[in-house]
Chain A
Amino acid sequence: MSLLDATQAALRLLLSGDPDLWGIVGVSLSVTLRAMLIAMPVGISLGYLLATLRFPGRRPLIVIVQGLLASPTVVVGLLLYLLLSRQGVFGQLQLLFSQTAMVIGQVVIALPVLIAFSLSAIQGADPRARETAVALGASPPRVAWTMLIEVRFALMAAVCNAFGRVVSEIGCSLMVGGNIAGVTRNIPTAIALETSKGDFAQGIALGIVLMVVALGINTAFAFFQGESQR
């Protein structure tokens, strides 16, 4: 099957509303959105605290977070597998090969991205912003909120980056999700499986969806950034 034929078949598959294909898309988006909803407040808060608090061990902590940006997702999956497997510390929770395990894995993968980018955004903000908020009598939580609003576009870039990393990761999802059809099969694991079976049409169709999601998010980000600079 040529690339053109496979692409045409992929488009037909998408437009036909194939339930298996759209089910896979649903699993992917559901898992990633839940992971992001958990990771965003935690990661951005930790990034803010790392940027603004001074405490012993802060520098090594920042180096570790930045190092984790490059952590292979398959290694995260392996560690999580060991923790969640029957003999693991959290084995009794019976989370292995579930969407919950995939969400946990994606949270772990997204956190370093969100922390490091938020840290960088806050550190790069105009120092007068913080001083002005303090000088106008704002409480520490209000100062923090003001700073996050002031760097909101850098934070949106952090969220886009983290979303892009987790929605397309395959190593962790495959290891802790198990690629179970209709349950834990998401877009990246399905693409790998279908390609290995020689079913390029479904792989391309899912690839198109992944690209549209990624482009959609980045286009929305660029639009809001453009609006802010008008």
Chain B
Amino acid sequence: MSTLTVNTLRKSFGQRRLLSIETLSLVAGKSYALTGENGSGKSTLLRILAGIEAPDSGRGHYGAASFDWQPYPDSLRREVIYVHQQPYLFHTSVADNIAYGLRARGVGPGQRERLIAAAIAWARLERLLTTPPQKLSGGERQRVALARAWVLSPKVLLLDEPTANLDAESRQQTIDLLQGLCAPQCTTVVACHDRDLIAMPGMQRLHLVGGRIEQPSTAAE
């Protein structure tokens, strides 16, 4: 089982130190709810873990490999998937959006078609296939983005406020999908304020305060 660990992670914006994390270990197969006030650095931490943003300093360890963020290792980029709070869908079809990561990984057409069909069925996107992605509602976009992540079977899945700004029905659909999103060995980190997400079975809580992670505890605590 591979564990993603970060040590002495520092990130500042101007004079403001946003993140100052001595050690954070994300155990394979575990789910974490990353909580904290608005502006506490939740999104920045997820973006750093995903290799979209670089910290000022810090080291990471994943499996047997050790790395810093300059450059972010390609092997990790293939296994860590980040989903934006407001997912961006490419200006193509829903199916092509789901296929994007598979194409990037060189998955052949036959297998790709099977995986896309499975992802469409998993996220119940059948009715949306002919709708241009830019015409989809926030909840529908979130489902396409989750299907796009699910189809890649990530080892680490980073979700940034997946239920924010959704109506009640879309929010519930998203929570239902999240419960079946990860394979057993997948580590999930969900930045959120949503009590229902924090209270999901098996969810451990990581609380960001003053740039530091408070001692992980179970959601119930």
Interface set of A (CB-CB < 8 Å, partner B):
126, 128-129, 131-139, 142, 146, 149-150, 228, 230
Contact present for A136 and B84 (CB under 8 Å): no
- Given A126-B88, A142-B104, answer yes or no on A137-B152 (Cβ-Cβ < 8 Å): yes
Contact present for A128 and B88 (CB under 8 Å): yes
* B contact face: mostly helix, strand, loop, or mixed: loop
Range of interface residues on B (Cβ < 8 Å): 20 to 34
User: Does B33 belong to the interface (CB within 8 Å)?
Assistant: no
Which chain B residue shows the least CB distance to A138? B104
How far is it, in angstroms, between the C-alpha of A149 and the C-alpha of B90 when the chains are bound? Answer: 9
How far is it, in angstroms, between the C-alpha of A3 and the C-alpha of B54 when the chains are bound? Answer: 67
Expressed in whole angstroms, the minimum distance between the Cβ of A21 and any Cβ of chain B is 42
Expressed in whole angstroms, the minimum distance between the Cβ of A138 and any Cβ of chain B is 4
How far is it, in angstroms, between the C-alpha of A31 and the C-alpha of B52 when the chains are bound? Answer: 44
Contact present for B88 and A136 (CB under 8 Å): no
Q: Which B residues touch A230, using CB under 8 A?
A: 132
Which chain B residue shows the least CB distance to A228? B91
Expressed in whole angstroms, the minimum distance between the Cβ of B151 and any Cβ of chain A is 10
Quick one: CB contact mask for B114-139 with A, threshold 8 Å, 1 for yes? 00000000000000000010000000
- List 21 contacting pairs A-B, 8 Å CB cutoff, sorted by A: A128-B84, A128-B88, A131-B47, A131-B82, A131-B88, A132-B84, A132-B90, A134-B51, A134-B52, A134-B77, A135-B50, A136-B81, A136-B104, A136-B148, A137-B78, A137-B105, A137-B152, A146-B100, A149-B90, A150-B90, A228-B91
Expressed in whole angstroms, the minimum distance between the Cβ of B45 and any Cβ of chain A is 15
Considering the complex, which residues of chain B in the window 40-84 have a beta carbon less than 8 Å from any beta carbon of chain A? 47, 50-52, 77-78, 81-84
Which chain B residue shows the least CB distance to A132? B88
Q: Which A residues touch B87, using CB under 8 A?
A: 128, 132
Which chain B residue shows the least CB distance to A150? B91
Q: Which B residues touch A146, using CB under 8 A?
A: 90, 100
4 additional contacts, CB 8 Å, given A131-B82, A149-B91, A230-B132?
A128-B86, A132-B87, A136-B104, A136-B148
